[in-house]
Amino acid sequence: MPFDFRRFDIYRKVPKDLTQPTYTGAIISVCCCLFILFLFLSELTGFIATEIVNELYVDDPDKDSGGKIEVTLNISLPNLNCELVGLDIQDEMGRHEVGHIDNSMRIPLNNGDGCRFEGHFSINKVPGNFHVSTHSASAQPQNPDMTHIIHKLSFGDKLQVQNIHGAFNALEGADKLSSNPLASHDYILKIVPTVYEDMSGKQRYSYQYTVANKEYVAYSHTGRIIPAIWFRYDLSPITVKYTERRQPLYRFITSICAIIGGTFTVAGILDSCIFTASEAWKKIQLGKMQ
């Protein structure tokens, strides 16, 4: 007897004349196909789109920076002349720079009565501070007015990613115009290193930060009031990494198979139950059930 390869067929076919179509089965079939189409389009959208995965670890992500962090500061002091405004930088490595002027610009406001300071500078990766003050002025004013608005304070590269909502510019819009003109302002920053890796594997390094602030009146050893705007910072050992990735093809195919197989299985069970109940009801109506 010749070997029949068709014995391996686990999907045996039933002749059409042995099947019975029903209205209920047709309705379930149409709903089943629509449901599968909806789930397929949902999975396809998720497969095409990229997702952002984040993780935390302890390390210095940007070891090629030479231990430096780039800082961008943009602040307006509407009641302090530009000739009096200066930036001072100091940290625990012994840096003490008064009147930093590199990559900085002072723009007069209010017919010269005020000033907008824009600066781009670097700080060491150690605790320290930078502050806007009149310390570098040749002659100290009698009552310097330190009311201000902070337009921007950011660290590292600028990240323009829609799916990331971090505190990269937490002080944007900070308004102290109604505060005591002679008060000093302390902004205490906790800087968190942040890495963003795109689909190509390219990494960009930025920094988020949290902020707390206080306001007080400071006096010098001579009894004069010497207000300033202090930004005291410290770095967190925790690094936040955002990785951009797309769902693997095998996972997409697995999901589609699960959707189709699961939907047809559940629909078949539902159709079988309805059909069995319908046949039983017909027998009851005909009085054929014992």
d(CA 196, CA 239): 11
Q: How confident is the model at residue 288 (pLDDT cuts 50, 70, 90)?
A: low
pLDDT in tens, 187-208: 999 999 999 888 888 888 899 9
Q: Does any domain span residue 275?
A: no
Model confidence at 290, in pLDDT bands (50, 70, 90)? low
Give a yes or no: residue 286 inside a domain. Answer: no
Flag whether 246 is in a domain.
Answer: no
Looking at residue 230, what is its pLDDT? 96
Average pLDDT over residues 52-81: 88
In a domain, 182, yes or no: yes
Structural domain of 71: 59-237
Looking at the domain assignment, is residue 271 inside a domain? Answer: no
- Alpha carbon of 119 to those of 233, 265, 268: distances in Å? 17, 66, 69
Percent of the chain that is helix, strand, coil (3-state, to 5): 25, 35, 35
Return the SS3 of 87. Answer: strand
CB-based contact 171:188 (threshold 8 Å): no
Measure CA 43 to chain center.
23
Counting the structural domains of the chain, the total is 1
Chain centroid to Cα 7, Å, comes to 58
Q: What is the pLDDT of residues 82-99, one digit of tens each?
A: 999 999 999 999 999 998
Predicted confidence (pLDDT) at residue 28 exceeds the cutoff of 90: no
- Is residue 112 pLDDT above 90, yes or no? no
**Within-domain flag for 15:** no
Residue 18: inside a domain: no
Domain membership of residue 26 (yes or no) is: no
Structure tokens of 247? 């769902």
* Distance (Å, whole) CA 89 – CA 190: 17
Q: What's the pTM?
A: 0.73
Mean pLDDT of the residues in the chain: 87
